[in-house]
Structure 1
């Protein structure tokens, strides 16, 4: 997966981790005692805001796992202590890194049930949007569902699949699966659509937009369709894909992707805002948000 370009402000915020010694697998010491009072306070405010917004919007599995892992509004979590609570549940642990790691390293971590989390926290003036993942995105957004056994198995399967995709030159297609599920996935529930993607869960504004705004498409998940679909990296998503269950997502990930990759090699990409005749369409987006934004940029 391609790493986004870091902004100067976020680069400054993580400078102490970029300068810290790192191991061959790109992990490093979190150095929890080095966080300032202001940084802990920033976590607390991000956490409190997300807790309010996600009630009735996050999937039940995420909310239950938050309680199980004792994530709270009490400062940036110590990753060693968090791993000590997580590992007995599903075998996963959380390891600190300074920035996005190379693809082969990332997939190796996932394949061995290690989740690499950025150790720095976003600066104050980037509270609402950060292009690269910080500790709030990674720990608050990603880690809770690793306490869910089915989702935890899916993430390990994805890591192993990533290693194969690299060898076959199919990473572009597999990255789209990660983007539209792990980062920006929605889940169908008896109460309606719910959020499970970390990119949405860690963004108060996108948590509302993804479920309640008329602009984006909401489309039933289909593996090949997702692997053909482009995505947006610097704004809300134009389309969100809705899975039926974590069990079904895991079953899809256990398929042999060899034949699928062969078909994808000759299949054209699908634009992020496009609806196809074969889609299980839950909501056809108006695209109003995106149209107005483009118009205002021109003027």
Structure 2
């Protein structure tokens, strides 16, 4: 955990019982606002034609192009008007039950810090740029906003089944690293991709990763990696499909079924997979050497 500096065993001084803290927008330094502007300019220049329509609309609806780290007092007025969601500041990573409760109640917890210049291209912890630029534009879309509520409620239920590690894969391969099929081609909606310059290119253009059409059971059996670009991307046909599958699935028997099935190693292709792109895995093999 050496790379994680915003991890606490309990709410730190100044935090509420639900781990929220005042944003204290005025306390951000000029350098921190400049880092946001640098990241925003780089991503917003290259994402048109790569990010999905809902994400690009969210940028406009929320007026994220305004210079500097967004002031949540202004941002939340627009977000609440769009979908009833709001962004709340937290000091860092929060416990699972706290996270799920926030989502279930249309609150998105965002880390109240921003990366340093040395962390420009890679940061293991979710900072304010990842959380607000990466996640919040999608929360301005009514369908995706409802999906996140459903996920939060499902997350709270999963704790009673000891199945969090399985459900986490759904979040990982959709909310963080999901691709979607649109009429113009594959597009990005996952926050972990849209907030990363390198992976925004890699996920669509590189021949290395597998791109597999979404199947809930298959996805929830699949291992993932947290330390580099993904070796698999799962592709949904629409946000409506993602929401429909999530709210219509009885996860209790699904968890029981998953307990009887082996995990699927990263990069494996199964005979029944609906494969869009069978990746070469050249990038992962080169990094392994």
TM-score, structure 2 normalization: 0.96
- Contact conserved, 1:195 with 1:201, CA < 8 A, in 2? yes
Matches within 5 A, 1:199-210: 199-210=192-203
Q: How far apart, CA to CA, are the structure 1 residues paired with 2:16 and 2:80?
A: 21
What's 1:65 paired with? 58
Matches within 5 A, 1:33-182: 33-182=26-175
Q: How far apart, CA to CA, are the structure 1 residues paired with 2:70 and 2:13?
A: 19
Measure how far apart 1:11 and its partner are: 2.9
The counterpart of 2:282, out of the listed 285, 288, 291, is 288
Measure how far apart 1:6 and its partner are: 5.3
Measure how far apart 1:256 and its partner are: 1.2
What's 1:194 paired with? 187
- Contact conserved, 1:80 with 1:94, CA < 8 A, in 2? no
Q: How far apart, CA to CA, are the structure 1 residues paired with 2:188 and 2:264?
A: 23
Q: Deviations over 1:128-181 (max 9, x none)?
A: 000010000000000011110000000000000001101111111100000000
Measure how far apart 1:89 and its partner are: 1.3
What's 2:267 paired with? 273
- Contact conserved, 1:20 with 1:28, CA < 8 A, in 2? no
Measure how far apart 1:105 and its partner are: 0.4
Measure how far apart 1:73 and its partner are: 4.9
Q: How far apart, CA to CA, are the structure 2 residues paired with 1:47 and 1:60?
A: 18
TM-score, structure 1 normalization: 0.93
Measure how far apart 1:262 and its partner are: 1.2
- Contact conserved, 1:43 with 1:73, CA < 8 A, in 2? no
Unaligned runs of 5+ in 1: none
SS class of match (1:11) = coil
What's 1:248 paired with? 241
- Contact conserved, 1:214 with 1:285, CA < 8 A, in 2? yes
CA-based RMSD of the aligned residues comes to: 1.5
What's 1:225 paired with? 218
Measure how far apart 1:228 and its partner are: 0.3
Q: Deviations over 1:227-278 (max 9, x none)?
A: 0000000000000000000000001111211221111011000011111011
Q: How far apart, CA to CA, are the structure 2 residues paired with 1:280 and 1:216?
A: 14
Measure how far apart 1:120 and its partner are: 0.2
Q: Deviations over 1:94-132 (max 9, x none)?
A: 000011100000000000000000010001100100001
Q: Deviations over 1:32-91 (max 9, x none)?
A: 111111110000010000011211100011001110000015000011221111012111
Structure 1 residues 46, 20: CA separation in 2 closer, same or farther (over 3 Å shift)? farther
Q: How far apart, CA to CA, are the structure 2 residues paired with 1:73 and 1:50?
A: 14
Q: How far apart, CA to CA, are the structure 1 residues paired with 2:179 and 2:13?
A: 37
Measure how far apart 1:209 and its partner are: 0.2
Q: How far apart, CA to CA, are the structure 2 residues paired with 1:177 and 1:88?
A: 28
SS class of match (2:124) = coil
Unaligned runs of 5+ in 2: none
SS class of match (1:181) = helix
